[in-house]
Structure 1
């Protein structure tokens, strides 16, 4: 007969252990304050935890089973899908910042690790993503990397991001563009109209940059004084030049008086473009020098121009 004092429970069966493990797994998914999801190799979401309800447009009934390009705005979806494809193709975990909109329409930044899921033969059949909201952490760093007057990022941040963006463009095999911008005859403007009015001109340039380069991944900087820079990926040099032309035309169209800037008598910009191919081996200083030379050519052409 069994000992009445024996209080040890009978051993659990393998099925019971599996059910217990599944309950723990489900509890973690339901309560984790991170985004956890999987996608198949066509970009269809095959699993998503409850925290996804924080995102704009989330619908629990249709989210799982839908394609990433059906769930997010195209520029967001392209960013997310590019990172999934990289993890699958390279069969490795990747760590990237990604941006998505919350229900309150605010854009949040997530640090995401994406890694491939392998079948018994070692072939990739899906990808898994863990994403942690780092928006507040990044905001805490804003003061040290933001120009107070224009709201653009400063030269310190430019130096931080340049190498990162060059590596990203190399991985994605995309053309990276450095655009340098200078206000024509800005010293003469300040001498005639005063520095407070000069500050308004700098803000107008920053506004024109923001209105043109507002895609995820586009970066705009005030390097110092009236010197600005943009760093962005594009599909071709012609596309980059068209974006630079939009910035130039936007400022010219504002018709800000500038008597010393002949012949037009209004504030204008000179812009210089340099293109960084995915296989480029040039240093940051060498690339910046090429941008400076292109900017000089724009000045030499008579200002109010874009030059390569």
Structure 2
């Protein structure tokens, strides 16, 4: 192990010789007979400990101590006053100047060795502690800048947020702290998700899931979130919650592209299969009527033949916009099933309300007043709709639901089109 460096400052060569002889075998010794020269030595080579006399000409020990403490580079070097001044006032002044110890001359060999070794160890421990604290502070800063985290009280009121949280949502810490976490809650998220979240954490369990959040500017982002209950270290009482988030917006964008129709922006057939399965189970669990309507643009092939495929795509796009405008509730899902065929899954309404809903959509499409001279019904774009309502206790498979609705759509077309045919 490399030896520690000790600087001895004393204007009496005899005193320096005595101290050097005692310490030379254990430490690297540097010496100086005046304060000015000592400060020059310190500026070039930082010692681990300084033994400093008080009574020196030109610059006394107190003045040297002031110089050491006034510089950032030398302020943390420990020094011991080693002096013949043994009155209490000198000792008090010495500690006031920042000395870590005070040794009066004459001193014993054992005392000097013990105190020097003690303060070298203390300084090493302090430096090690400072390095640890600095390292922890560095990692805490990295975490604050890069980990999207927040803490709340038991009611969901924000008590602390990381800088990364502010960066992703656009709110400042001042705008977030003391506010409800609902400030970033997105209205697209279903109530059932938050019900499950609160049920879980109220039982002192960890909740994990994906949430769509809202930024200050109204845009959205997605996070993978884990929420932990926080407990008081002394009483063990629950005091709040801490959440750690991971930005998954890019992942969600890719997922969104994979389940959406590029032209109409509606869900595609692939996603329809999943949603139908999930909604059947949810309707049975909640004992709600589940409805599925399938609609088709009347005489669409004739429209394409007459107006061209570009105009045909415009019709499909406009149809998609109408369906989107009518699917605002959490349990409403609109799909492009293929070609000019669309579908909507919805629930929590009666059969009569379902038919009124379907007729409203049919009327909204007709009210677009898109010319279609090959449509003998009205001369504008119209749609036909098959509507199936499924009761909670009804045993029916997903394939049967699709086939029965398709049959109803066929009947609507056979009945003259621009109409709704339901079960």
Cα pair 1:87 1:116 within 8 Å, conserved: no
Report the equivalent of 1:151. 265
Deviations 1:185-231 (Å, cap 9, x if unpaired)?
Answer: 32343344443332222122112122332566754322111111234
Report the equivalent of 1:220. 334
CA distance, structure 2, for counterparts of residue 115 and residue 282 of structure 1: 41
Deviations 1:232-264 (Å, cap 9, x if unpaired)?
Answer: 5x5434776565444323211111223443432
CA distance, structure 2, for counterparts of residue 172 and residue 44 of structure 1: 31
Q: Does 1:52 align with 2:168?
A: no
Report the equivalent of 2:297. 183
Choose which of 390, 400, 413 in structure 2 pairs with 1:286: 400
Report the equivalent of 2:366. 252
Quick one: structure 1 residues 69 and 265, their matched pair in 2 at CA, closer, same or farther if it must change by over 3 Å?
same
Cα pair 1:87 1:114 within 8 Å, conserved: no
Report the equivalent of 2:219. 106
Report the equivalent of 2:63. none
- Equivalent positions of 1:100-249 (< 5 A) are 100-114=213-227, 128-141=242-255, 144-164=258-278, 177-214=291-328, 218-231=332-345, 235-237=348-350, 244-249=358-363
Q: Which has the higher contact order (CA 8 A, sep 6+)?
A: 1
Report the equivalent of 2:125. 9
Cα pair 1:43 1:81 within 8 Å, conserved: no
CA distance, structure 2, for counterparts of residue 239 and residue 28 of structure 1: 55
| Pairwise CA RMSD | 4.7
Quick one: structure 1 residues 129 and 166, their matched pair in 2 at CA, closer, same or farther if it must change by over 3 Å?
farther
CA distance, structure 2, for counterparts of residue 179 and residue 127 of structure 1: 43
Gaps of 5+ in 1: none
CA distance, structure 2, for counterparts of residue 107 and residue 28 of structure 1: 25
Aligned length: 301
The structural deviation recorded for 1:30 is 1.9
**TM-score of the superposition, structure 1-length normalised?**
0.70
Deviations 1:154-205 (Å, cap 9, x if unpaired)?
Answer: 2223334444555677788876654322212323433444433322221221
**TM-score of the superposition, structure 2-length normalised?**
0.54
3-state SS in 1 of match to 2:150: strand
The structural deviation recorded for 1:267 is 1.4
Choose which of 350, 359, 383 in structure 2 pairs with 1:269: 383
CA distance, structure 2, for counterparts of residue 210 and residue 272 of structure 1: 18
Gaps of 5+ in 2: 1-113
Quick one: structure 1 residues 124 and 261, their matched pair in 2 at CA, closer, same or farther if it must change by over 3 Å?
farther
